Structure 1
């Protein structure tokens, strides 16, 4: 069994995310559940890290919870919550902190050094890519979508001149490349 999941089970991740998001942000909770479902499809690509991905997918947006929004930057707020209140595994916390090219948004917010110092990006490109894939191929309501449609939806929702709009425009090529790498890895796996 994966040692990360010995200490931090997928069920625990689901309970924590549900407690923080289901009542205050039900649409965000629907998205998180959808992202977790997408992670389930990647077991054959990740092997031992599949459980870690599913826990990170479930928790990636927990920092949006109003009571956790200390900086207003959900990857940083969520990672600090998981580290400080739950003593979650370091790899899990770093995945949540850096999901979907968060470092680029941190730069837009003046938090790049803080995020990078406190939660360095994991040196596991496929694991990082799979979380991007799960997040960026899931709609706000938890349904499947393409990365192109997801980026367009985010730009439409936030506006191109907002912090998130500027970030997503910069991150789009990286997001699309991550999704392509995961799709290639899936295609290369025996069924």
Structure 2
């Protein structure tokens, strides 16, 4: 199956929800070529840089295939459950969490990016949809998407193919990592591997190293 970028989204900081929380969650599809820098797509903004953005959350990818499932489960939100609806930068056609491995290097357009962690949804997801159930539902479903770090700046656009350039880790599909994080289920061997995995985002390596210390 040809893996490609279905759509590309960027967003500016704007008030979100009844309390007008500053957020870059709401994004708009762009039909033109976008520059990709070390901290993400040019024109995309994040409000709270303590938990969003940065080199290990530079570009957020989400599986286009998941939207059909979400619409079936939450038909009341069907109009908003469309590509870009979860605030992703790249809606990817042909990849889901079982197919994506920690450390995968993808060439998209002229940019080179690397999968480094899954998304952990926050309260802004609930604010966007006016539904407190959705963050917990995303965690439970495992349909979380993934963050890329940018290895080489470049340009990309909707329709570009996603080429797997390298897979340094073969033991950790993103779906397994999501289970470990959210359900606290892991073997000792898995925790040891994660603690030493250079491709994993530093915060999750710390998580694994803390687990090791706890088990000692």
If you compute each CA radius of gyration, which structure gives the higher value, 1 or 2? 2
Higher helix share: 1
> Under a length normalisation based on structure 2, what TM-score does the superposition of the two structures give?
0.28
> Under a length normalisation based on structure 1, what TM-score does the superposition of the two structures give?
0.30
Greater RCO (Cα-Cα under 8 Å, separation 6 or more): 2
Higher strand share: 2
